[in-house]
Amino acid sequence: MIRIFILYAISGFISLGYQITWFRVFTDWFGSTNLTFALVICNFIGGLAAGALLSRRITNFVATRANIADPLRVYGLIEILVGATVLLTVFAEYLPADLFGAFPYTLTNDIWQQSAGYRISQIAIATACVFIPCLFMGATFPLLCHVFIGEPKGDRFPAALYAWNTLGACLGVLACQFIFILWLGHKPTFWLMSGLNVLLGIYFVVTGGAPAGAVATAPVSIDWRGQARYGTLLTFAVLSGFLAGALEGDMFKRISFMLGSSPGATMSFISFWAIAAIFLASALVNRVPQLKLLHIKLAYVCALVYYFAMWRYHNTLTQNLWPFSLPELLRFTGLFVFLPYFFISLLLPWVCNRLQAEKVHIGLTYGLNTAAFCIGLLGFTLIAPKVNIFYSTKLLMLLLLIGTVALLVTTEKARAPRLSIAGFVAAFALACIFAPAEFDRSYFLPTGDLQDKPIRAMKSNGTHTTFVMEEMDPRGNLRLFFGSHSMSGTDLAPQSYMRLMAHMPLLSQRRPRSALLICFGVGNTASAIAAHSNMQQIDIVDLNDKIFETAPEFSKFNNEVYRDPRVRMIHDDGRGFLRMTDQTYDLITSEPPPPLAPGVYRLYSREYYESALAHLSPQGIMTQWLPINQLPQEAADLIISTFIDVFEHSLLFTGWDYEEPGSSELILMGSPAPINLNRIVNQFFDDPAVVEDLQRIGIKSGADFLNRIVATDDVLRRNYGGLHIISDQRNDLEHTIRRPPDWAAIRLN
């Protein structure tokens, strides 16, 4: 059996390699949102569920068509099918970006939304790319359990096999996150995993070696002797899957909320600890045959108590254990994820072992467990967070309580757990209705501004809970929050650098007419663009549709730019829009979330800048926010070197100077043509609306602009030319975390 265990561990390694790379591919397709996370995880687990439920049919079909009797050779063929079908992802990337036209949007409530056909087709293609190979993956676990059902210690085989598979999966996460993607990039890593998958399958096709008497085909009908008892075990499997899926979704939301702008590796690390917990839980069930249902019930109580305690005191833990490196981030996520997931994960391998001992095919059990996992994950990744983060996290605590009570009152020998099931469903329905959804100040640090300042306009799209905080100063300044992170505001600092991102490039051109703004914020940059009377078209693209809905809250500061007839507000990923559109712009300005936030590296990579350059007019200019006060030196160097590698003419200027050294808000400016700085001086007073807007932030002449220049093109190339650059494939920013007081500095020698 050891050969099977080791090779199935390699299969787990490959599977999680696929998942890690799918996260990145889907981020390119959909942006860094809950939908990306849910599409990958739900199709991955959903495919496993369907494969398990159809395991016997898939196995019988492959064995019959290939005319193979040895079930291990059939297993090899199925592994080859996995390695082949994952290549659907590669082929999908070659589909034309403008398959549904250059502007596949429909106007809904003054916001251009993706058309139904375009949206459905995207999701359908993505679903096929993940679901189909995972369908074949899901058939392998029940198949191997069936092969060894009559062997010595066969009654503990499912837990042992599951443990080895998840051990390989844990190693796959770490290897891909820290080695393969850094060295190779995610597409070569994907090809590598596919090749290993095919080689694994070929090995089994050639060698076979199933135990004597084992057959590839199995009867499709289920032996339902003792139906009540099996029904109870199936109920346990469903409960375990539902709670595990809900818990993983909630952990991703909670940890991202705690860290504010959480690093991109957070998602992978949560998956790692969840899989590590499953591995150790399965290994324990395999090694300790004396483990009883009572012990697992006590474990569920421990999970509930631990999870409640950790989140009750999360502010203290966050302050003391804030992660400043990837190893520290791995430790930090493990502190919150591992133990509760370990306790929850004991139930499924115990159930599988019980069924294996009775020689019952476990395809149905494993399939229902994984299907329930998908439902739980969807509920706490896409559905409950649509209300807001406060509602979703509190509902999860109630769900854990209800699920634990349901397990406690149900026994293995119960004739039918209908009463427990009905009670669980009714209690959870009541929890959904009565869980608090109000803004909760206890979620924030007790010393922060959010403890005593008024909050309004709370909205949620599932990915982010956004709200507006009143600064309570004489000017009536406001701040926009995404969760616990202050994303933008209306005080002088953001007003200054956000408006200069538009005014400086527009004044350096002769009669610019069109602009593309990626990320709206509170509307500072958009209103600055609109102040230029010669502008004819202003396209604003933002992945968070609630930002557009919040725009009227800042009308005093953004001059109601959202009502401007020249403006098109487009709800989409900025890079996705650039891939489709056939338009060119005189200005493309990019003001995304902080560069180290999940998925945001895509708006600082070479491929992104090349896409922007392709949509600039011959004299057009791109500006890019460079918040060096939020970056380690390595990240700042990467961003600058990448920017100047793409744009032939560049410069760097100050949008706002803070008193602390090295913490200015800087702006990169690049163009395919020389940047005419003299034109800024000559045209400064041509447009009264522009002059008025600039004087509000202390810019009184063209010379004030020139005084803000930090580094010209020759200085930037002398200091940053030829350095390492950011690519989509390696997403280097995901592997950098700032440790205060590690402020980035600009080299000017």
pLDDT digits (tens, 9 = 90+) for 14-35: 999 999 899 888 887 777 666 7
| 429 and 508 both lie in a single domain | no
φ, ψ of residue 743 in degrees (nearest 5): -85, 135
Q: pLDDT digit string (tens) for 475-508? A: 999 999 998 888 899 999 999 999 999 999 999 9
Q: pLDDT digit string (tens) for 600-636? A: 878 899 999 999 999 999 999 999 999 888 888 888 9
Burial 425-440 (b: 16+ CB within 10 A, else e): eebbeebbeebebebe
Burial 148-179 (b: 16+ CB within 10 A, else e): bbeeeebbbbbbbbbbbbbbbbbbbbbbbbbe
Q: Which of 401, 434, 467 is the last residue of a domain?
A: 434
Domains of the chain: total:
2
Question: At CA 265, angle to CA 263 and CA 270, rounded to 5?
Answer: 110
| 38 and 120 both lie in a single domain | yes
Residues of the chain with pLDDT under 50: 220-226, 661-662
What single letter denotes the amino acid at residue 52?
A
Lookup result for tokens 């999870």: 307
> Is beta strand 514-518 parallel, antiparallel or unpaired with respect to 465-470?
unpaired
| 731 and 631 both lie in a single domain | yes
Q: pLDDT digit string (tens) for 348-370? A: 999 988 888 888 878 888 899 99
Q: Token pair of 251, please?
A: 């952990």
- Measured CA to CA, the distance from residue 165 to residue 171 in angstroms comes to 10
Q: What is the dihedral of CA 728, 732, 737, 742, to 10 degrees?
A: -120
Q: What is the DSSP letter of 552?
A: G
Q: Token pair of 45, please?
A: 């687990």
Number of neighbouring beta carbons within 10 Å of residue 91: 10
Q: Is residue 747 classed as helix, strand or coil in its secondary structure?
A: coil
CATH code (residue 646): 3.40.50.150
**Three-state SS sequence of 381-418:** HHHHHHCCHHHHHHHHHHHHHHHHHHHHHCCCCCCCCH
Lookup result for tokens 């076979």: 208
- Sheet with 478-482: list strands edge to edge: 455-460, 465-470, 478-482, 485-489
- Measured CA to CA, the distance from residue 571 to residue 372 in angstroms comes to 32
Cβ-based neighbours of 391, under 8 Å, separated by 6 or more:
384, 435, 436, 437
Q: Which of 434, 456, 480 is the last residue of a domain?
A: 434
Longest dimension (CA), the chain: 91
Containing structural domain, residue 72: 2-219+228-434
Is 115 within a domain?
Answer: yes
Number of neighbouring beta carbons within 10 Å of residue 528: 28
| 174 and 315 both lie in a single domain | yes
| 622 and 728 both lie in a single domain | yes
Residue 457 Ramachandran class (φ > 0 left, ψ -120 to 50 alpha, else beta): left
> Is beta strand 537-542 parallel, antiparallel or unpaired with respect to 514-518?
parallel
Is 321 within a domain?
Answer: yes
Is 248 within a domain?
Answer: yes
Is 265 within a domain?
Answer: yes
CATH code (residue 193): 1.20.1250.20
Is 486 within a domain?
Answer: no
Q: Given this model, what pLDDT does residue 736 score? A: 75
Q: Given this model, what pLDDT does residue 264 score? A: 67
Q: Is residue 309 classed as helix, strand or coil in its secondary structure?
A: helix
Q: Is residue 449 classed as helix, strand or coil in its secondary structure?
A: helix
What single letter denotes the amino acid at residue 455?
I
| 533 and 395 both lie in a single domain | no
Taking a C-beta distance cutoff of 8 angstroms, is the pair 112, 105 a contact?
yes
- Measured CA to CA, the distance from residue 297 to residue 256 in angstroms comes to 30
Number of neighbouring beta carbons within 10 Å of residue 113: 17
Sequential DSSP letters for 459-499: EE-SS-EEEEEE--STT--EEEEETTEEEEE-SHHHHHHHH
> Is beta strand 585-590 parallel, antiparallel or unpaired with respect to 616-627?
parallel
Report the predicted TM-score, pTM, of the whole model to 2 decimal places.
0.90
Is 450 within a domain?
Answer: no
| 505 and 430 both lie in a single domain | no
Sign of CA dihedral 342, 348, 350, 353: negative
Nearest residue to 91 via CA among 40, 128, 144: 128
| 22 and 132 both lie in a single domain | yes
Q: How far apart are the first and last CA of the chain?
A: 65
Radius of gyration of the chain from its Cα atoms, rounded to whole angstroms: 28
| 405 and 546 both lie in a single domain | no
β-sheet bridge partners, residue 488 = 480
Cβ-based neighbours of 588, under 8 Å, separated by 6 or more:
515, 516, 518, 612, 615, 616, 620, 621, 622, 623
| 271 and 418 both lie in a single domain | yes
- Measured CA to CA, the distance from residue 352 to residue 592 in angstroms comes to 47
Number of neighbouring beta carbons within 10 Å of residue 226: 13
Question: At CA 494, angle to CA 493 and CA 495, rounded to 5?
Answer: 90
Q: Given this model, what pLDDT does residue 646 score? A: 97
Cβ-based neighbours of 695, under 8 Å, separated by 6 or more:
none
| 417 and 504 both lie in a single domain | no
Taking a C-beta distance cutoff of 8 angstroms, is the pair 106, 112 a contact?
yes
Give strand ranges (E) for 572-641.
585-590, 616-627
Q: Token pair of 141, please?
A: 């676990």
Sequential DSSP letters for 318-380: HHHH---SHHHHHHHHHHHHHHHHHHHTTHHHHHHHHHHHTT---HHHHHHHHHHHHHHHHII
Is 453 within a domain?
Answer: no
Q: Which of 434, 453, 472 is the last residue of a domain?
A: 434
Q: Is residue 710 classed as helix, strand or coil in its secondary structure?
A: strand
| 418 and 505 both lie in a single domain | no
What single letter denotes the amino acid at residue 522?
V
Give strand ranges (E) for 548-664.
567-571, 585-590, 616-627, 649-656
Is 320 within a domain?
Answer: yes
Sign of CA dihedral 227, 228, 234, 238: positive
- Measured CA to CA, the distance from residue 293 to residue 296 in angstroms comes to 5
Taking a C-beta distance cutoff of 8 angstroms, is the pair 706, 680 a contact?
yes
